[in-house]
Amino acid sequence: MYQVFKKEFNGFLNSFVAYIAISVFLVGIGLLMWVFPDTSVLSYGFADLETLFTFGPYVFMFLVPAITMRMFADERKSGTLELLLTKPLTDLQIILGKYFAGFLLLVFSLIPTLLYYFSIYQLGNPPGNIDTAGVIGSYIGLILLGGVFISIGVFASSLTDNQIVSFIFALFFCFIFYYGFQAISGINIWGKYSGTLEEMGILYHYNYMSKGLIDLRNVIYFFSVISIMIMLTKLKLSSRKW
């Protein structure tokens, strides 16, 4: 698994796509945090990172597919997937190697946003007037959300040999899982089941995490979705043997 992880991560570092995607993510979040008047921290005058944790997931929807779109799609198109599958590695080890490489790159993309925390920490009145514990909890929620999106992206990449199609699939699935259940539950036809339907979506659980509330039920939900998507990817790879 480590060899797959190393190869995949080095592939990211040697790819301009990864750098461009991360740059777009940081520039987009930076503009939302400091420039655009409707979302700027300087405009509404509160020392918090709500803008990052509110709009971060939507920027992730474009960042993650750009990271994951080549994982299996490129291997399948170039014919190296069959060679990889013949190595003394299980399908699950291959998937996890690719998953953790993408996840680590995502975490690296978030590290520069810590500058926003230190900036707001100093801008507070008095300096340091920011809920640090809440920020830590919100970062954990954003990282877990990123982990879910990466697992969705890996699955999407396993469905096709076209990177653009993989990108579109991942973007669509991330949006549906994040906001789709919330939107569908708002339709006035579900009655008492609307709450249950809403809880099936990522947004419901992320809203709690983004407030710094670390609830074990929400953590279990995120890990469950990650596990399901990885198992679906494994099932897709295993279908070659049928």
By CB atoms closer than 10 A (0-12, 13-18, 19+), residue 77 is: middle
* Residue 190, phi then psi, degrees to nearest 5: -95, -15
In tens digits, what is the pLDDT along the chain, a chain of 242 residues? 777 888 887 877 787 877 888 888 888 888 888 888 777 777 766 667 888 888 888 989 988 998 888 888 877 877 777 777 677 778 888 899 999 999 999 998 899 988 888 888 887 677 767 777 888 888 998 999 999 999 999 999 999 888 899 999 999 999 999 988 888 877 777 777 777 788 888 888 888 887 777 788 889 999 999 999 999 999 988 876 54
Of 8, 162, 6, 156, the closest CA to residue 73 belongs to 162
The reported pLDDT for the residue numbered 240 is: 62
- Cα 96 → chain centroid: 15
The reported pLDDT for the residue numbered 166 is: 92
By CB atoms closer than 10 A (0-12, 13-18, 19+), residue 86 is: exposed
Contact, 147 vs 174, CB < 8 A? no
The reported pLDDT for the residue numbered 47 is: 64
Contact, 164 vs 132, CB < 8 A? no
190 CB contacts (<8 Å, ≥6 apart)? Answer: 197
Contact, 153 vs 62, CB < 8 A? no
If you ran DSSP here, which 8-state letter would residue 201 be given? S
